[in-house]
Amino acid sequence: MFQIGPHKLATPVALAPMAGVTDLPFRRLCLRYGAGLAVAEMIGSDPRLRNSRKTQLRSRHDAEVMPRAVQIVGNDPEAMAAAARYNVALGAQIIDINMGCPAKKVCRKAAGSALLADEALVADILRAVVTAVDVPVTLKIRTGTRPEARNGVTIARIAEDSGIAALAVHGRTRACAFRGEAEYDTIARIAAAVAIPVWANGDIDSPQRAAEVLAHTGAAGVMIGRAAQGQPWLCGQIADFIQHGRLTPAPSTDERLAVLSQHLGELHRFYGELMGVRIARKHVGWYADAAGLGTDARRRFNSLQAPADQLAVIRELFSQASQSRQALAA
């Protein structure tokens, strides 16, 4: 069992926070299909951004399965503590600190994974946030700033000493971004070095891969990122396999259509028609890739401007895909 403070997660499989991906509609879907935790998109600690439309949308947690986890990002201990207090007041039940993002626009501000180069500042931020709130605080990191400077074990020990309740580790350094393959030896050393639960993260795209990573690292759970895009059921498949040894088949074409139709409807309602139609395009692209619909289908969908047209074309495309599979099977 994976426990974060008072919160006992139903499964040890978490959905990673991903900017522009893990909004409320997607989190709700992944939780419904078996994720034990779904962390919201990162929110900047700068108070001047709190009233922006982007931040307000990222701060919404209505009708979400609990516990509600909010990720904050920044490089100033006092500002991070204030951001934690602010988000707890809005309903956050877990505060997650981002020290794993490799994006240049984040690292240029000496935030995200750039912080791993300054262990003293890491300690100051962690202590400030943990002291500021009465909910559990978790941390997401990478293995270090670059391959020749993997200090993940040191950071993990600082995190444990600072009162961090759980740790997620992506098996790449900041310099690696998402290139090459994730390495799990450092995650194994981290899991052995601390008593707090650790999620292994990076290149986990199947139940079998998740089981291999858990066996290799000794981590308490796994965190799924990009592989869940277009496959909100993947976290549940992984949980079934590692907890019960069941290899749950992927949804049928008809089931995928039902999930996607529901997802699109929630995106349109959540963002409004104009913004919802635009955001739906990237999600449909991921579903199309996972379902093998091809680039022509994506181009056709991306030209649409109305929610009703998007839903109609999706039904048509999936119907064609289902007929093609039936013909091949005959």
Provide the sign of the torsion angle of the four alpha carbons 264, 268, 273, 279, taken in this order: negative
Q: Which residues share a beta bridge with 167?
A: 139, 198
Q: What is each CA distance from 101 to 19, 32, 105, 150, in whole angstroms?
A: 10, 26, 10, 16
Asked whether 248 and 41 are in contact (CB, 8 A), the reply is no
d(CA 72, CA 185): 27
Helices 273-291 and 295-302: angle between axes, nearest 10 degrees: 170
The verdict on whether 235 is a catalytic residue reads no
Question: Along the chain (330 residues), what's the average pLDDT of each consecutive run of 10 residues?
Answer: 93 95 94 95 83 82 83 94 95 93 64 86 97 98 89 97 98 86 96 98 97 98 97 97 94 88 94 93 88 75 90 82 59
**Residue ranges per structural domain of the chain:** 3-244, 253-329
DSSP states of 172-237 as a string? S-TTTTT-S----HHHHHHHHH-SS-EEEESS--SHHHHHHHHHHH--SEEEE-GGGTT-TTHHHH
d(CA 299, CA 288): 11
Q: How is residue 11 written in tokens?
A: 């499964």
Asked whether 101 and 68 are in contact (CB, 8 A), the reply is no
Residue 168: left (phi > 0), alpha (psi -120 to 50), or beta?
beta
d(CA 203, CA 270): 30
pLDDT at 325: 60
pLDDT at 145: 86
SS (H, E, C) 235-251: HHHHHHHHHHCCCCCCC
For the chain, what percentages of helix, strand and coil (3-state, to nearest 5) are there? 50, 15, 35
Which pairing describes strands 7-8 and 3-4: parallel, antiparallel, or unpaired?
A: antiparallel
Name the catalytic one among 101, 107, 176, 235.
101
pLDDT at 301: 84
pLDDT at 327: 54
For the chain, the first-to-last Cα distance in angstroms comes to 45
Which pairing describes strands 166-170 and 137-142: parallel, antiparallel, or unpaired?
A: parallel
Percent of the chain at pLDDT exceeding 90: 66
pLDDT at 104: 64
d(CA 310, CA 268): 10
pLDDT digits 0-9 by tens, 8-19:
999 999 999 999
pLDDT at 61: 77
pLDDT at 7: 96
pLDDT at 324: 60
CATH architecture of the domain formed by 3-244: Alpha-Beta Barrel (3.20)
d(CA 309, CA 265): 12
**Whole-number mean pLDDT of the chain?**
90
